[in-house]
Amino acid sequence: MTIPASPKPRWAVGVVLVAVAAVLPLLHRDVPYVFDGALDSPGVLHLLALMLVFGALAMTYDLMFGFTGLLSFGHALYFALGVYGTVVVLSELDLGFAGSVLLVAVGGIVLPLLVGAVCLRVKDIAFAMVTLAFAQAGAIFVMRDPFDITGGELGRALPFREVPDVFVGIVNSRNIYWLALALVVVVYLVARVATASPTGRVWQAIRENERRVGVLGLAPYRFKLTVFVLASFLATMCGVVYVLAVGGANPTVTTPTFTLILLVMVVLGGAGRLWGALVGGMLYTYLDNRLAQLAASPSVGELPAVIRVPLSEPLFALGLLFVVVVLFVPGGVAGLVTGRRGAGSWRPPWRGRGGGDGSSSRTAESGEQAPTAERAAQDVTEGVAR
């Protein structure tokens, strides 16, 4: 069976958007009330780069949560591996920049392979709790720093002498931005190809009805381990780009709370839709930054308490936005744009998504009927036969 290609206009829109994003750093234009400065200013480019990195990271989490129904509370562990791994390897080992990134990339495959092999032996809430335990162990390791390599609560600065000059200094903010944009493109294309493949259809069938997938002779464990490793590896690479953008490792990226933020990003944008997760990650990062600036402004102190208090706590405002989206816009931003709830609308994975027959909603990216377990099995069988 041949997987139908996306309509050309949809790809054309993506190409145009990437092209527009690529030229933004070359424009000396002010966007009043949106950014504090021109588009080519270092501060704005730094914010845009962070928005892109977290948009890419949200897509990696959506692979597990939105497409496969795996609610993990430990995804931050692999992002932190990219962040801390890059800093530590560059500082402690004489491998050069390329060799250090390669070693971190290998770790981004090996660690989730080992952790996933254990976590995926259980399901639903038990799976979420086991991933949380691993994430907490990683956070404790970073904070206590038993081998004197992470910097503990203070974190650790990136050794810029080991980093290529094109990524060092505010004069190279454009290069960091373009690197983050390239990260988004690569993560999206890899995730898009993966979810449109026969294996990706099995992921979606597992989300709809895992038991039926097993009855048809497929091994859900293997497919879940595949998506777990792929998503975690991509998250590790997001961590590498992130540490280049911020110039150091901070223990806040190791906490399970950070994974909850990823969940908010995905639900805000629309779970089960890659572009929705991208928008959700970028929007959350932008609001988090702008609300923090707003909370520190003198004008907020002059407002009535009923308005001043929520605005002075950005996390409270973002949490309230999350509740509103879950209750009234279950499809997230993507649902508003497409006008339908979609397969990725948030609900606890252990409650099931597709009913007893394993069929139901539509897939996020193509608008096709969500694959039943039978269709997924047929896709895999025909793929092997070819």
155 versus 353: the higher-pLDDT residue is 155
- Mean pLDDT of the residues in the chain: 85
Burial bucket for residue 153 (CB in 10 Å: 0-12, 13-18, 19+): exposed
- Of 188-192, 272-276, 334-338, which has the strongest mean pLDDT? 188-192
Residue 21 confidence class, pLDDT cut points 50, 70, 90: very high
Beta bridge partners of 369: 362
* Residues 306-319 pLDDT 10s: 676 666 677 777 88
pLDDT of res. 200? 94
Domain membership of residue 239 as a residue range: 38-258
Say what percent of the chain tops pLDDT 90: 60
Average pLDDT over residues 219-242: 96
Q: Is residue 175 part of a domain?
A: yes
Q: Is residue 318 part of a domain?
A: no
Sign, Cα dihedral of 123, 276, 231, 162: negative
The reply to whether 322 falls in a domain is: no
- Is 193 a domain residue? yes
Q: pLDDT at position 96, please? A: 92
108 in a domain, yes or no?
yes
Closest to 55 (Cα-Cα) out of 246, 326, 262, 215: 262
List, for residues 245-266, the tens digit of each pLDDT value: 999 999 999 988 898 999 999 9
Predicted confidence at residue 385, as pLDDT, reads 42
Whether residue 314 lies inside any domain: the answer is: no
Above 50 in pLDDT, residue 350? no
Separation between Cα atoms, residue 378 and residue 383, nearest integer Å: 8
Contact yes or no for 79/52 (Cβ under 8 A): no
Looking at the domain assignment, is residue 374 inside a domain? no
Condensed to tens digits (0 to 9), the pLDDT of residues 320-337 reads 888 888 888 888 888 888
Q: Is residue 176 part of a domain?
A: yes
Residues 90-133: tens digit of each pLDDT? 999 989 999 999 999 999 999 999 999 999 999 989 999 999 99
The domain tally of the chain equals 1
Q: Which residues contact 65 (CB under 8 A, 6 or more apart)?
A: 71, 72, 263, 266, 271, 349
